[in-house]
A and B are shown apart, each in its own frame.
Chain A
Amino acid sequence: MTETRQEVTVEGLRLELLAKKAIMIPSKSALLIADVHLGKVNHFRKNGIPVPEPAGQNNLKRLSQIIDSEGPKEVIFLGDLFHSSANRAWPEFAEFMAGFPKVKFTLVVGNHDILGRHVFEDAGMTVVDHLKLGPLWLTHDRSERDEMFNLYGHIHPAVRLRGSGKQYLKVPCFFFNLKERYGILPSFGDFTGSHVLKPDKDCVTFVTTGKEVLHV
């Protein structure tokens, strides 16, 4: 059995956690994606650090697959959409969005998104600092407001798993804390790395291998 998605219900809203590192909310027809870090490879190369160029090109391919298969009306990026100051990955992405005229693209600004609001807006995006979506409060990093359930990215969460025979694995994950009412999305982008979190008893964690998403 391949488990390509898992369901969680948060404050009465059904979320689908996709193995491809995004969250689909069918009732809102919204697709949530965090930390794509577009242009990171180009930024490195511009500064003389030779990351293989194709490493940055897969992001758009994966984005397009996921939009095609989920068919959302709105795609909401939870920050760090673009890694650095402008480079040629930006016009590529603007063109990419133009290929989906029926989809609304929204950016919740992250610390890496230094391009300037008008650059995003010129490409047809809606830019916000945070966003209310039903019972959810969408931000890039954790919000200090606690009256709503906070969904964010920024951290690139992963967990360490242990098996018998001294086996360990580090896997990216969706990380929810239902008591403190927050959830964190894994980073979507290639070439982004991850940060290990240590869950306590109030946490619910779903790891993703890119092919399957599993509750642990």
Chain B
Amino acid sequence: MQERGLERAQKWFAGRGWKPFSFQEDTWRACLSGKSGMLNAPTGSGKTYAAFIGAALRVLQNDERNSLSGKRGLRILWITPVRALTKDIRRACTEFCEEAGIPWQIAVRTGDTSTAERAKIKKKPPEVLITTPESLHLILASKDSEDYLKQLQFLVADEWHELMGSKRAVLLELALSRLKAISTLQVWGISATIGNMEEAVEVLLGADADRGGHIFIKSNLDKRIKIIPVIPEEIEKFPWAGHLGTKLAEDLLPIIAKSKSTLIFTNTRAQAEIWYQHILNIEPDLAGLIAMHHGSIDRELRDWVEDAIHEGRLKCVVCTSSLDLGVDFRPVETIVQVGSPKGVARFLQRAGRSGHSPGMESTIYFLPTNGLQLVECAALRRAVLRGDMEVRVPYIRSFDVMVQYLVTLAVGDGFFPERIYEEIKSTFSFASISSDEWEWALNFITRGGQSLEAYEEFRKVEVMPDGLYKVNSRRVAMRHRMSIGAIVSDPMLKVKFQKGGYLGTVEEWFVSRLNPGDTFWFAGRPLELIRIKEMTVQVKMSKKKKGAVPSWQGGRMPLSAMLSENLRVKIAELAAGNCTEAEMQAAMPIAETQAKYSHVPGIDEFLIEKIQTREGHHIYMYPFEGRFVHEGMAAVMAYRISKLTPISFSIAVNDYGFELLSDQSIPLEEALADGLFTTDNLTADIQAGLNKTEMARRRFRDIAGIAGLVFKGFPGRQQKEKHLQSSSQLFFDVFRDYESDNLLFKQAFDEIMTFQVEEVRMRNALHRIQKQRTVLMYPEKPTPFCFPILVDRLREKLSSEKLEDRIRKMTLATEK
């Protein structure tokens, strides 16, 4: 029977004039043999055909065996992280089914799906459903979901590497634990290469991975990559953050001209807007041939752009990570990366968007937005050569997601705790959950964290006489369905033309700074703000050419550990003056200036700069460990110094180092003599440092949103729920003051320890620094290294002074 299935696939391939790769045939065989597993294959390799055909063949085989052929019911769930990919996947699946004579319905259900379509999917289940983790949870939150999912046989988690390092993976893990209990399920992941491939399998399969028997298939398609730096003729010796380097745009024009189609990747949406506008300014002939694509632009517009790329109608598209994934863009010949990609994997992923056919070489241009990024380019090149790849750290013990999931189940058919506890323990994320923690969660959703004795008005999940946990209030249920998911964003406002026409969304805080009549750039057009009405920004085209560009927050990715490591090597080469690559030679003038004012650290040196300016007393340290680790390390250093004397710091970090700034002289020399970098008491000092900064508070923002503490209101029904508005900040304070053993509150600190402080990594870094020779310089003015940090305005603070004493030294801030 297996062979018959295989023949069907081979025949279909042959009919198209294709020959299957061995990894495709291996996947089909593995699926047909009933195994779960992971397919490690890059984008554009034919991975969809491998997994989908495998799943389809297996289901046909099962149905025939169980005489279910022709019986309706959901068989295959295809989970994708991005809505944009659904169209392409559906196309591929439909082609196969139609041509191979499989009479299946294939449907898509995402946040974009209309209510009518959703109702249809609910009433008449398709055999194949392509969906997102969030939409899957919405299915679990509906009545009779168990019945609906009973026939399910196969789940494919596409682009698993993309989900893996996020809480959305936890959503999927939890959903999987439920699905496995409802039906007999085969689970497959598809993932690009990451540094912890084995762990990726364990996270997806949960306890099943321990039992073994799953299969790992790696495609042997090698992608060759050519990295070409765009080197400026003259190097700015003082590169600074926010300098967007559009000067180099001129150099892009010939690259765009000679390529059939070019994708220009920027790191932020604001940068995309600026580059799009700038390129069009210097090359008006591109009008109509250049487009922009980012996550805040209207879906329809984005669809149009994607189709146009697909059909080769566009010469150039300026985009953000919104085009990192999936969609097959054959006509794209060239990729440009503007600014540091911050990680090797992301860089490779983007590079892979060109030469999408298997075996073709990908070309990527690296365009630095400041001089030091030339060194990053060299570091990237080194990492790619060595095959270095980032690890995606999975979220574990995300109680916010678990609490949300339990309410989701209670909103649906309800649940019995004993059963769900066992299921949850089988996931990777909650393998270590204790019965006390479980009891806490149950208490939290039924009694809001209060003891049993307390008289209670709390109303959310109710325990029915038969022990079923259930949400009975329709309002609670509706509110919950509205907030399912693990992506928390700032309040967004719609941007619309006064005469109609939807453009996309901007963050509320950006619009709140504008006055009617002001011009801002959005979706590549200058727009004049007319008024803000309810949740809509009404605009008209502006005649002005200048205006603010929205800066969507959250665009600051930290440099990965992998890239940091390579960067340290390259900085040391710069210090030694033995540079071979063109980009390194181009960066030499910066190194010379740095050496003149201060010092370029060699591989066995640790550089500290102490500078006094009008703003106060600055200390800069350069561990080259990436932004996240620097945040944690700066907090510890600031805390240790603040124990010597009452002092207040404002802290700024970038990927190269961090700054401690104070209004008073900093006793650095004393601190160094006391062993500032010691690993003794590190754990305690980290804890104390974190308690004194806002890092946990920031982490808590997402947690509060996911756990349903902060509710943004129903769209268009703001008024009615007004009395339930609050902020995560308020919650953070009351938990700290009244319920500090709350697992959600503690989770904020745990997440910092896992993702930011990474105690192990910090310990290693401190050990390294202790072995290095500390070079303490007293430059007279800011150096090329410190300048980008100096001008950064996003700051953390830490103080050992009394609040009242600090206020006495301050004045009212009058500027905007």
Contact = CB atoms under 8 A, between A and B. Distances in A.
Interface of A: 2, 40, 42-55, 83-84, 87-88, 112, 159-169, 171, 190-193, 198-199, 205, 207, 209, 211-212, 214, 216
A51 B736 CA distance: 12
A167 B652 CA distance: 12
18 contacts: A45-B457, A45-B459, A49-B448, A50-B449, A51-B709, A51-B734, A52-B734, A159-B812, A160-B813, A161-B807, A161-B811, A163-B811, A164-B616, A165-B617, A166-B793, A167-B663, A169-B803, A193-B727
Contacts of A84: 723
B457 A88 contact: yes
B814 interface: yes
Interface pairs A-B: 4 shortest CB-CB: A48-B460, A50-B448, A165-B616, A165-B663
Contact of B648 (A162, A167, A205): A167
B812 A55 contact: no
A167 B724 CA distance: 33
Interface stretch (B272-280, B350-358, B595-603, B737-745): B737-745
A61 to B, nearest CB: 13
Given A167-B648, A209-B803, A45 B734 contact: no
B449 A216 contact: no
Nearest to A199: B812
B457 A163 contact: no
B457 A193 contact: no
B125 interface: no
Contacts of B730: 191-193
Contact of B738 (A52, A171, A192, A214): A52
B787 interface: no
Interface in B717-769: 723-724, 726-727, 729-731, 733-735, 737-739, 742
Contacts of B733: 191
A44 B710 CA distance: 10
Interface in B441-468: 444, 448-450, 454-461
Contacts of A83: 723
Given A164-B615, A171-B807, A216-B810, A87 B444 contact: no
Contacts, number: 149
Given A207-B807, A209-B804, A54 B738 contact: yes
Nearest to A205: B812
A209 B734 CA distance: 17
B360 interface: no
Nearest to A45: B458
B36 interface: no
Nearest to B456: A45
Interface residues of B, number: 58
Contacts of A55: 734, 737-738
Given A162-B811, A216-B807, A216-B811, 7 more contacts: A48-B473, A48-B708, A49-B711, A161-B810, A166-B795, A209-B803, A209-B807
B123 interface: no
A-side binding surface: helix, strand, loop or mixed? loop
B661 A45 contact: no
A204 to B, nearest CB: 11
A199 B815 CA distance: 10
A163 B615 CA distance: 10
Contacts of B737: 55
Contact of A165 (B448, B475, B650, B813): B650
Nearest to B804: A212
A167 B798 CA distance: 10
Contacts of A163: 648, 663, 806, 809-811
A162 B812 contact: yes
Contact of B457 (A52, A87, A167, A205): A87
Contacts of A190: 734
B431 to A, nearest CB: 26
Nearest to B731: A51
Interface string B96-140: 000000000000000000000000000000000000000000000
A90 to B, nearest CB: 12
Interface string B773-816: 00000000000000000000101010000011011111111101
Nearest to B475: A47
Nearest to A196: B813
A139 to B, nearest CB: 21
A44 B807 contact: no
Residue with the greatest number of chain B CB neighbours at <10 A, chosen from A42, A44, A54, A212:
A44
Nearest to B448: A50
B615 A168 contact: no
Most A Cβ at <10 Å: residue of B475, B709, B731: B731
B271 to A, nearest CB: 25
Interface in B630-682: 648-650, 661-664
B253 interface: no
